[in-house]
Amino acid sequence: MGMGTRADRREVRSLTGLRGIAALLVVLLHTAPAGGVAGFGAVFIRHGYLWVDMFLLLSGFILLRTYERLFQERPFPIAYADFLLRRLARLWPLFALATVATFVARQTGRTWYADTIHPWGWVLVANLTMTQAWVGQDSIDVPGWSVSGEWACCLMFPLFLRLLDNRRGGSAAGLYLAAFAVLTVLAWLPVPARAGGLDLALPATPFPVLRCMASFAMGMALWRGCGHRRLEPLVSSPLADVVATGLILAMMGKPHTDLAIVALFSLLILCLSRQRGVVDRMLRTGPAYWAGQVSYSVYLLQVPLIVLKGQTRLTHDAQQVLVAYGLSATKGSWLCLFYVLLLICSAITWWMVERPSRTMLRAVAYRLSGLAA
């Protein structure tokens, strides 16, 4: 029932690679030239919001896989405090940096945004505490709404654990189906101006946080149930990951397939967790794995860089660079240049912000848990 040995708990590198691909496809949703793609490709790109659900499925799966034993072996108050501090170390430093950078750029009034942020005081406080999605405030760094949602999921982690506890009437299947039912209801709500059923990021409603919690809970249920004898033959098939990937790619180009795609995301995660297969080998090394390592930076830095792209001086300089290398300043050239710049900046922030801050705050968590023991 997902209770592997210590060796089994090592990083599943293909899941890291999958996170990297998902981050790059979210960026494509926000940067693809309007009207530049039609038909299947246009629907595929517009479905990019679903990769956020992939992030949350992966987070629930990996966090339970990583921290389940902590909650089993330590007193609950110590385990919970340790868990939250470690998650804070992972989520907050880069989020705060990206939020402040975007805030400063937006306040200049010369960006892709229509206006500056007013009243900025309360909005900034809500964002810097990662609670903006809970209290109906806009995310300054637009993708940050899902980080706020994930922070809510971390606070709810013990409740989800309780719902998975067989000794108290919980079950992995029950939690997964209940969470999927929540997504189904959300997908069919009469919410206007969205690209698809699960395109829910409206700050004035509770729907984004509910969406995050449902996908996160499904991920936790997947880990607890991944060793079930009825699932084993399905996910262990040599071509299962190839079939799941092919179906995902096909359905991403078809409208009204959100729920089916999320279900297929679940199947792909289970297949990759076996750490064998064609797709696993493609994602566990090379560029995909590296993209997974910097995926959080990629996800959060895309908007600050889009904001900077809207500044007149940077736009002019970038055009000169393209011309100097014999490239016309077309939308495709812009997109390639943007991706290069984004990956460079993401590598820098991963090395200089994410890694050191995570190490420092996790050391604090370790010392505090040792004192409390």
pLDDT tens readout for residues 28-39? 998 876 556 678
Among 285, 299, 288, 298, CA closest to 348 = 298
Q: Report pLDDT digits (tens) over 40-94.
A: 999 999 999 999 999 999 999 999 999 999 999 999 999 999 999 999 999 999 9
CA distances in angstroms from 164 to 36, 150, 222, 293, listed in the order given: 46, 19, 11, 29
Specify the pTM. 0.90
Instruction: Tell me what the mean pLDDT of segment 307-333 comes to.
Output: 53
Instruction: Kindly report the average pLDDT of the chain as a whole number.
Output: 87
Q: Is the pLDDT of residue 110 over 80?
A: no
Q: Is 270 helix (H, G, I), strand (E, B) or coil?
A: helix
DSSP state of 271: H
Q: What is the pLDDT of residue 37?
A: 66
The answer to whether the beta carbons of residues 288 and 21 sit under 8 Å apart is yes
pLDDT value for 2: 45
d(CA 298, CA 31) in angstroms, rounded, equals 13
pLDDT over 70 percentage in the chain: 84
